[in-house]
Amino acid sequence: MGYSAKSEEKIRDGKIFASAEEKMKQAGTSYGLKDYSGVMSNLNTALELMLKEKLGIPTTITKIDTANIVEIMIAGKIGPIEHLKEVRKRLFVDAHVKHRGYIPLSNECIHALKAMEDLKKQLERTEIALTEETKDNIYNVV
């Protein structure tokens, strides 16, 4: 999953959340163009960037397994659990988009956009401390 030049610059400057915000704006633009697969793709990239920031995953590693990382966080009660559950429910339709040609519906995109906006707000306010075991679990699925 390549990042735009603008996102790459923000990542280098340590502004990963700003890059995630940019991806969320791109998702909104995709929604306006009725590119619903693009909405989900941009939101997945935004989630990847947010998780890298909060969990200390190296930004040079691309295409992390966000679904498994979210599962580890939920199981370990790490971070804003209810918001993570909502994102899991709303956003991971993207696997169907990529692998089965499924095109999400407009209302699915709206729910995913809302879930990601809520999660972003919560992650920005939440300090996350990981045990070594949890770090290892996350790094094993990256």
pLDDT tens profile 33-80: 999 989 998 999 999 999 988 998 887 887 788 889 999 999 999 999
pLDDT band at 1 (very low <50, low <70, confident <90, very high): very low
Amino acid 112: pLDDT: 96
Amino acid 94: pLDDT: 52
Amino acid 91: pLDDT: 87
Q: Work out the angle at residue 120's Cα, subtended by the Cα atoms of residues 138 and 60, and round it to the nearest 5 degrees.
A: 45
Residue 102 pLDDT > 80 = no
Say how far apart CA 142 and CA 139 lie, in whole Å.
5
Lookup: tokens for 5: 């030049």
H helices present in the chain, as ranges: 5-12, 16-32, 36-55, 66-75, 81-91, 94-100, 106-125, 132-141
How far apart are the two ends of the chain, measured CA to CA in Å? 14
Amino acid identity of residue 69, one-letter, is I
Amino acid 19: pLDDT: 86
